[in-house]
Amino acid sequence: MLQSNDLSRPFTALNQDSSLIVVIEMSQSSWLVAGMIPGIERQPLKKLEPDEDQLLKLLSRWRHEARHAGHAIERVVVAYEARRDGFWLARWLRERGVEAYVIHPSSVAVSREHRRAKTDRLDSELLMRAFLGWLRGERRHCSMAAIPTIEEEDAKRPNREHEKLVGDRTRLVNRMKSTLARLGVRGFKPTLRRAEDKLTELRTAEGTPLPENTRDELRRDMGRHRLVREQIKEIERQRLHKLEAATPAGKGPHAMIQLIAQVMGIGVETADMLVNEVLSRHLRDGKAVARYAGLTGSPDESGKRRREKGLARAGNARVRRGMIQLAWRFLRFQKESALAQWFCARAADGRSSTRKTMIVALARKLLIALWRMAKTGEIPEGVILRPVA
């Protein structure tokens, strides 16, 4: 039985005589639109400027051609691959009565020839074959991406910007330290508040003042570091303000963040990332949650050969990295929990290879447990919560 969040097959049976099926091969400079029109033998291709209004006019024209051929169009279905443009076109088309889907690019099977012809025309034909198989309800032709609302997309921006700014801050600090080390300066911390005022007092290993250009470069880097640090603090303040303004007993992402952040060892930053990236999504079950995070295996079986190639690394890399880091932290703060005991029992031999393998399994189990906690309020066994303020 199909569920409300099942994107493996369509909900509506395909009647090809009354359906206009269209796929779009999108690029930054142009859109190649391929259609399958009932009653028309040819399968038209039309190159357009990246303009949604021209696309809508083309769909209307093809609908009229089908009507002249004796086929009344009751359903217009459009699909394109998830790429740089994201989901805005699908939302725009759905608002105008067009059934729009976004296809996972990696789910479309391609030829494994070393050198194969690749053009927009061939790609559109391949996309049309995969999309038709999906519309007919055949499994494993392609996978559809869930189309988020603009509010859901916007909710991810603060955490992703915070992650980028933290990386920028680390790069700036490392660059300043390497600049000083090149001159033999040790023990100086460029992140201190009054570090810029002390640059004139610094001496190189030869006992000379810092060179003028190097000193100016360090001042500029310190200014960038100060700006990045202020932006990080601003994002954190705004997030805490929104969480405090949210209703304690309410529902939605803010309530989930407050609930997940009560677990000892999970901070607001990690809870915000998990909720907005995975826990607030309408996923089918625990297996779908682990698969979305790329925490499932990739078995290689052929004949007598049986081996595991490691993580599939499909899905959301941000969630996968965060969960593996959280799993190590969970072992420190939740030693008496059932999950931590499960890990310790299987990594008792102390071998690093065993611990490395089992920490991924713990990350998968922990993610599913947090997903159940966010959805149903079920607290994982033995997990310690922070006292409610």
Tens of pLDDT, residue by residue over 145-198, are 889 999 999 999 999 999 999 999 999 999 999 999 999 998 899 999 899 999
Which pLDDT tens digit goes with each residue over 216-235? 999 999 999 999 999 999 99
d(CA 145, CA 102): 6
76, 125, 122, 128: which is closest to 103 by C-alpha? 128
Does the pLDDT value for residue 249 go beyond 70?
Answer: no
Using CA atoms, how far apart are residues 59 and 47, in angstroms rounded to an integer? Answer: 13
Q: At what angle do helices 338-346 and 352-376 cross, to 10 degrees?
A: 160
Which pTM value belongs to this model?
0.85
pLDDT recorded at residue 250: 65
pLDDT band at 289 (very low <50, low <70, confident <90, very high): very high
User: pLDDT class for 246, splitting at 50, 70, 90?
Assistant: confident
Cα 345 → chain centroid: 33
**Residue 142 binned pLDDT confidence (cut-offs 50, 70, 90):** confident
pLDDT beyond 70 at 2:
no
Mean pLDDT of 21-35: 94
Of 32, 138, 121, 135, the C-alpha closest to 76 is: 135
Q: Is the pLDDT of residue 143 over 50?
A: yes
Examine the pLDDT at 1 and tell me if it is beyond 90: no
**What mean pLDDT value characterizes the chain?**
90
- Quick one: CA torsion of 376, 381, 387, 389, rounded to 10 degrees? -10
CA 97 to each of CA 22, 59, 139, 202: distance values in angstroms, whole numbers, following the listed order: 14, 12, 26, 68
**Is 3 a residue whose pLDDT tops 50?**
no
pLDDT at 68 over 50: yes
CA-to-CA distance for 371 and 348, rounded, in angstroms?
Answer: 28
Predicted confidence (pLDDT) per residue in 318-336, tens digit: 999 999 999 999 999 999 9
Identify the burial level of 338 via C-beta atoms within 10 angstroms of its C-beta, where 0-12 means exposed, 13-18 middle and 19 or more buried: middle
